Structure 1
Amino acid sequence: MPPKERKIDRAANIRELRSWVGSSPLLAPLGFSRLVADAAFLLSARTLPEVLIMLQALNEAAKRRPDITNNKWELPDPGYNWPLHGEPLWRLVEAEEKSLKEHTDARPWELVAAFSLNGLRRSVVNSMAGLNGPREAVSTQAQRLIAHAATFISLAQAERYRDDVRRGKASALGIQKANSSSARKETKIARYKDIRRDYRSLKEKNPRQSQSAIADKLVAFYERERPDVKVSKSTIIRAVKEPNNEPL
């Protein structure tokens, strides 16, 4: 018996992720709650332990590839979502794809979302400006973390949308192929039915005729009377012998 698929409780996952991030009233004017909700929604198919594994895998990959993480940005190839594809985070995910998959089956945009959610969590920890600043002030570091997370969440959403479009196109192509196959099958059935009708008509006129002789006469008949119908002798014999048909 195949193993049962794990049931995903997206609502519970979102609640758990939001609780993990925490909150601070100081961050409310910066759109913090909306950003947490967006990031948690992107990761709603994942439990908190799975997200922590993603972050740990990213951290280990970053340690292995200082050549990527030390370069702040490089011009990416032109194309869809190019602002993300030039970022060190995305280049790290692409370069370390094989090693990352040893730890997590997360899609690249999920890793970006996890990175963003962790940034929001860090902004809560660093939200206060400090003992010497006004109590209602948000620290510069927290502001920077939130702005960074907002950018990456937006880019992750765009990447996810592209994945959805690709799956949609693949699904539409599959439906189109299935419809074409069904149409071809129906055409074949109708053609075989016509052939068998004409074959039966000739056989009734002369029951002693061989199958091959009747097929030859039908080919000549179609070429003369119905040139639009391209039917070979072998096709006629296949139509007559098809096992799903009643005996002639």
Structure 2
Amino acid sequence: ASGAGLVLRNVRLTEELLARLEELRASRQRLVAAQDAERRRLERNIHDGAQQQLVALAVKIRLARQLGTKDPGKANDLLEQTEREVSQALEDLRDLARGIYPPLLADQGLVAALSAQARRAPFPTEINAGDLERSSPEAEAAVYFCILEALQNVAKYSGASKATVTLAQNNGHLTFEVRDDGRGFDMTKTSYGTGLQGMADRVAALGGALAVRSSPGSGTVVAGSVPLASAARTDPGQGPRSVGTVVG
């Protein structure tokens, strides 16, 4: 009887040990996944935020160089504006490096934060938002960085003279659209790229969707939506939900 009891005790101890090992393995996997997700989040924020500002600054510096001999006064004004924006870009980069969203976005919301970015853009950018109410921090951050990425693409690739950003809240979703009047592109000949793929990943993590529409000579429209009360999904099998062709 004592032998049988010892066997049962050993079986229980073995089962407990295996259960604890499984808990440890699962905990380690969650930790690794969380660290990787945080790394990717910071990488996307730096790419979509600070990089967009630097692209705009580079465009303004080139313009100032072109104006140097033709209109020195205007060139000097542009350089002074660029100097101020460099300081702001550095501050934003410090915030992002600490994993902090832009203070203006956290304090005053999407419209204020995007309006500040629009003033720095190298082309006229109109923000249409109506009486937009605050959404969850996750939803606002996702839309903010997606719009910055879209505006960066306008500056880099489209040759557009202007862009329009539209924000709305419909059926429990925060929706956005970035429309430009640039050269457009043939969607049948363009594959996925890192920029807009990152946008698709960002909205998909919150259960949202992204669509890109374009054709040669007709400009480009980037549109997306995320649930108003978004929180990041942890299901590793949840992939990007996108409509249309996503490029970057």
Q: Same fold (TM over 0.5)?
A: no
Question: Could you say which structure has the higher strand fraction?
Answer: 2
Question: Could you say which structure has the higher helix fraction?
Answer: 1
Greater Rg, structure 1 or structure 2? 1
